[in-house]
Chain A
Amino acid sequence: MRKVAIVAGGATKCGRREASWRDLVQEAGKSMFDSVDNISPRDIEALLVGAAQPERFTFQVHVAPMVAEYLGITPTKVIATTELMCASGQAAIRYAWACVASGMADIALAFGVEKMYMRDMAEAQTNMTCVLDREWDGVNGLSAPPFFAMTAQRHMFEYGTTKEQMAMVSAKNHHYSTMNPIAQFQKEVTVEKVLSSPMVSPPLNLFDCSGITDGAAGVILVPAEDASKYTDTPLHLIGSGQANIGNVVNNLASITEWVPLKLAVEETLRTAKITRDDIDIAELHDCFTISEIMEYEAFGWCEKGGGGAFIEEGEPYIGGKVAANPRGGLLGCGHPLGATAILQAIDVMQQFRGEVPKGRLVKDAEIAVTQNLSGAANVHSIMAYSRSPK
């Protein structure tokens, strides 16, 4: 297997965009190709497009060739869309990495795009309710907020986690996103504001939930030994993990402990040859505030059930045990499903390059992970990155 590095990345501004799916693709593509001198669209041999629900949100399938056409790419080795709901972009990076590592392609593009704002938002909510098994869970109204609301309720019941601790996650991530120019949310959100925001699905208030977001992003992967041809500051892919247990609620390993995440963490640490304490930056999947709290636990930075206390003690802030979501997270940046993992990777690259604003810069960071859950948190996907080759 060859070692692999990301040498370029580009993204759109995220949020409620006055732009079509096709516009988003072109904006992100231009931003990415403009950022690197020696790669043109015709050089891309493999194209993987992370797109969760283009068939529902924009009534279009077979979207990878459409991305290729709009960006002037003529893939000669690999082309496909990767769907893994909220982790669709992580799946694209994962397959692009496998293509380059295996020697199947020398230059691969992992792209991600989602246009989620629709004329009728009830239709968008409908799309989000066929993520869990539609006939056995979705039919009961089980879209993401009610599912994660019950997860939060059980976590509070079993471990004494509080609404205030959950709100602190939202306040932290919104604080960092005020320093991220492409983030959807640009305003500070206090703990009090989270607690007084409208109730979506108790115990989750509006600011406990990530937004509906339009956005697109892409990263270019090459063999690490070729990286210096394109940049002095590549982002090295050093390990990864992915695991799935069950799908319908009855068949999940547990509601309050994300066993597949623990497996994915172990695999990531093993393949990257690092320990959890080596991780300087963690871009975690904070689709809901409770998610990030449970992720501190599954990564092993605190004991099981201790996630609430972990943030109360200041550990997941820059300067604490681990900098969790210095990008602003999904809560602050928005969550354009297919693009999210790509946006996380680009921000890690900018962190390592020292290109992010001082207030959210993790000084001398060497190791980062990006993590995404999907569905009923039955699937978890992680990629580990380093500033230096390993």
Chain B
Amino acid sequence: MKKVKSERVKRTEEIKLPQMLDFYPLEDEKNTRISLFFENLKEHRLTTTKCNSCGKLLWPPRIICPDCMSDELEWIDLGSEGELYAFTEMRLGAPLGFAEDVPFCIGIVKISGLSISARIDNAKYEELKIGAKVQLKIVELEDGRVFYRFVPSK
């Protein structure tokens, strides 16, 4: 019987976070037709689309209206101040890419008739209150992408 060989082969132990495990969307016009949302964020404006045909305010922003199938949408400013409808704090069970932020607060923010989820920065769970005012904040990732968060209003 021939001798069976054994050989140790090399594999990378550490792999950079793969793009599809990055929670943030691809934001430029090559990757999405709502890139204006992110362009507006860079100018510190939180916006969304509104249907010109039926008047429905849509969140998240999109390219057609699900209520009437119109693609005549316009961009609307949502303002920069909202109100906390609910909130909690991530203490255990954070996903990859979030661990270094733990603990961090998450809320549902009422703003211009919408209820959107968002990170609440500069806050401790014990110090937040339902109904408290929160102010828009923009965060910028290392690669230049941007996203919205809120902080408690002073």
Contacts and interface: CB of A to CB of B under 8 A. Distances in A.
Interface of A: 122-123, 125-126, 128-130, 133-143, 145-146, 149-151, 153-154, 157, 198-204, 206, 248-251, 255
B4 interface: no
Interface stretch (B39-47, B68-76, B83-91): B83-91
B88 A146 contact: yes
Interface in B115-154: 115-119, 125, 130, 147
Interface residues of B, number: 35
20 contacts: A122-B96, A123-B96, A125-B94, A129-B23, A135-B24, A136-B60, A138-B23, A139-B25, A140-B117, A141-B95, A149-B88, A150-B106, A150-B108, A199-B92, A201-B88, A201-B92, A202-B89, A250-B60, A250-B115, A251-B59
A125 B90 CA distance: 12
B99 interface: yes
Contacts of A139: 23-25, 147
Contacts, number: 108
A245 B65 CA distance: 16
Contacts of A251: 59
Contacts of A125: 93-96
B21 interface: yes
A126 B59 contact: no
Contacts of A146: 88-90, 106
Interface string B20-55: 010111000000000000000000000000000000
Given A126-B21, A135-B23, A146-B89, 4 more contacts: A126-B95, A140-B119, A201-B93, A250-B59
A250 B116 contact: yes
Contacts of B21: 126
B88 A122 contact: no
Nearest to A249: B117
Contact of A154 (B85, B97, B104): B85
Given A150-B87, A200-B92, A142 B116 contact: no
